[in-house]
Amino acid sequence: MSGPGRAITRIEAAVGRAVEGITWVLTGVLVLLVSVNVFARYALGIGWFWAEEVTRLVFVWVVFLGSYVALRRKQHVAMDFVAARVPRRALPAFLTVTRLFVLAFLGVVAWSGIELVRTTLELGRVTPILGISAAWGYLGVPVSAILMFLEVLRETLVGEVPST
Amino acid sequence: MSLLVLLLAFGVFLAARAQIAFALGLASLVYLFLFMPTVSPETIPQQMYAGADSFALTAIPFFVLVGELMNTGGISRRLVTFSHTLVGHLAGGMGVVELLASMIFASFSGSAVANAAGTGAITIPAMKRSGYPSGMAAAIESSSSSLGAIIPPSIPMVVYGSIAGVSVGALFVGGYVPGIVMGLGLAVVIGIVARRRGLPVGRRATAREVLAAARDAGPALLTPVLIMGGILGGIMTPTEAGAVGAVYAFLVARFVHREISLRDLPRVLLATACTTGVVMLVMTIATLFGWILAFEQVPTRMAEALLGGIRNPAVLTVGVVLFLLAVGTFIETIPALIILTPVLAPMAQAAGIDPVFFGVIVCIALTLGVVTPPVGVVLFVTSSIAKATLEETSRAIVPFLAVLIGGTLAFALMPQAVTWLPRLLGY
């Protein structure tokens, strides 16, 4: 494995472990938030007016971080009908070209996502119920894109060939 | 012309082995760059965010989690034992036991894949021991697991309902009759296949054994009652019912069965987030893709071009089913659903088709894609558990697939057979 490949593999592994930790905690929080809110409404007779908004915020983060975790674990579906017919020796080059395009896409999403967060903060747009900045939700998009960029970059540098 | 570029780009990136979600995103980028250069780039993250920001879709991780907890916490195994005491002596033996266990599992969890992995790990080896060839065991497990997304709760129905603006509760209830009828159809075919091969049936369980198994599975069997009862009683939204169901399943696995500990939670929750991420990444990026399609008025134009001449609702529904069965063979259920619902739902509405009926039929037709060769996720899962080749399973599944497809077409022609139950329950 080349020098940059090894370095990024180490970095990505550390980042990945940290994100996985955050992701399972948030998923647990999501379950508790919704179920405890039902309990509060019926058993205690109090509905938390903020529950739905917080639930959606947590869900959005579970989605965007979960997308990255799923990418690390090779769970996103791709079609093999052409790749399976590419000669073995040409496969790494074939995959690298595709990955460069994916990196371009993730780069655009990360950059435009950061722009969106910035303008949202500048305009001071807040959520209707909690009154916190709407940027807290939007932030999930660029964070996820940057994390996925890191993983695809690692695959590219290492020249990983998926097992089919 | 511009639309052709969009679809062509999508196809090229798919062929280049980009993940479906990224292929959609790249096609959208190409389109935005070429034909809509004045659109603010911030539209991209904004649309992606909008695709995920939904309370209805929050039900997805919950119905995934219930399945994960059942498999980790010993609930799946108890359901199989319980089914065994009920139907193990009928023609088909273990095959019918598997079918019943899958149908019960389907009423807990919303995903065909979780169903196949959960019940399959127990029933496929048991079917093989009782004489079923590997391919046949995998085929029976696959076809009965496909009922997982038809018998409520159902993740495809959550997705369809939230895109098309149809009540998820009504879609859920609409899935009962087709799910059960198609299950009975499968039972008949399993019986015939087993008899032809002279496969053994078990002895009839004694009343005492049935009771013991029922008592063991009883607390878990309350999960679907809690979920669907909560929804139908108007007490909880489907999302809330999913969360409460997950908590209940955990409590049963933890305190009644004592087969799960807090230490298992990180793994189970992370697996849940992963599956959610797989479904929802496509959802977020497809929302961007769909925004472009809508901007170009593609859904309306396509509907006119394809089906402008068709006024007959029955012909239209059958046409859609055949189209979706074809699509389902090479695109996964959820991505196909996300891309096509915005096109199909308005079409059905224009033809005066009942939206609940149409939603149920669309979900069923696309769900069958998971068990149709050559590309069916459930087939991969079950074949690997059974140690059968994909070819063996694909050959063995033909008679079962015939029942499922025949059933879908029959229901496509009988809207009342699907809608009477939701009507009865006030949807």
Which of B51, B53, B58, B59 lies closest to B284 in space, CA to CA?
Answer: B51
Q: Which residues of chain B lie closer than 8 angstroms to A73, CB-CB? A: 274
Q: Which two tokens stand for residue B44?
A: 């991209």
Under an 8 A CB cutoff, do B16 and A60 touch?
no
How far apart are the C-alpha atoms of B145 and B122, rounded to whole Å? 13
- Percent of chain B whose pLDDT exceeds 90: 45
Listed as ranges, residues in chain A with pLDDT below 50 are: none
How far apart are the C-alpha atoms of B241 and B224, rounded to whole Å? 10
Are B144 and B382 in contact by the 8 Å Cβ rule? The answer is no
Q: Does B273 contact chain A (CB < 8 Å)?
A: yes
- A19-49 pLDDT per residue, tens: 999 999 999 999 999 999 998 888 888 878 8
A 52-111 residues with CB < 8 A to B: 52, 55-56, 59-60, 62-71, 73, 75-83, 94-95, 97-98, 101-102, 104-106, 108-109, 111
pLDDT of residue B140: 93
Q: Which two tokens stand for residue A145?
A: 């894109």
B 337-376 residues with CB < 8 A to A: 375
- A4-14 pLDDT per residue, tens: 888 999 999 99
Highest mean pLDDT among B2-11, B117-126, B257-266, B298-307: B257-266
Whether pLDDT at B330 is above 80: no
Whether pLDDT at B110 is above 80: no
Are B49 and A137 in contact by the 8 Å Cβ rule? The answer is yes
Give phi and psi for A122, each to the nearest 5: -60, -45
Q: Coil, strand or helix: which one is A133? A: strand
Residue of B nearest to A70 (CA): B274
In angstroms, the Cα distances linking A30 to A25, A93, B26, B237 are: 9, 42, 31, 15
Q: Coil, strand or helix: which one is B113? A: helix
Under an 8 A CB cutoff, do B41 and A20 touch?
no
Q: Coil, strand or helix: which one is B133? A: coil
- B13-41 pLDDT per residue, tens: 999 999 989 999 999 999 999 988 888 99
Under an 8 A CB cutoff, do A138 and B49 touch?
yes
Q: Does A30 contact chain B (CB < 8 Å)?
A: yes
Tell me which of B12, B14, B19, B226 to substitute to probe the interface with A (most A C-beta atoms closer than 10 Å): B19
Whether pLDDT at B309 is above 80: no
- B199-249 pLDDT per residue, tens: 888 888 889 999 999 998 888 888 888 998 999 888 899 999 999 999 999
Highest mean pLDDT among A119-128, B105-114, B375-384: A119-128
pTM of the model: 0.88
Q: How many CB atoms lie within 10 A of CB A133?
A: 17
- The pLDDT of B123-134, averaged and rounded, is 88
Interface size, chain A vs chain B, as Cβ–Cβ contacts under 8 Å? 195
Are B360 and B169 in contact by the 8 Å Cβ rule? The answer is no
In angstroms, the Cα distances linking B396 to B46, B155, B198 are: 47, 27, 16
- Percent of chain B whose pLDDT exceeds 70: 97
pLDDT band at B303 (very low <50, low <70, confident <90, very high): low
What average pLDDT does the structure give for chain B? 89
Tell me which of A17, A26, A35 to substitute to probe the interface with B (most B C-beta atoms closer than 10 Å): A35
pLDDT of residue B307: 64
Residue of B nearest to A136 (CA): B49
pLDDT band at B73 (very low <50, low <70, confident <90, very high): confident
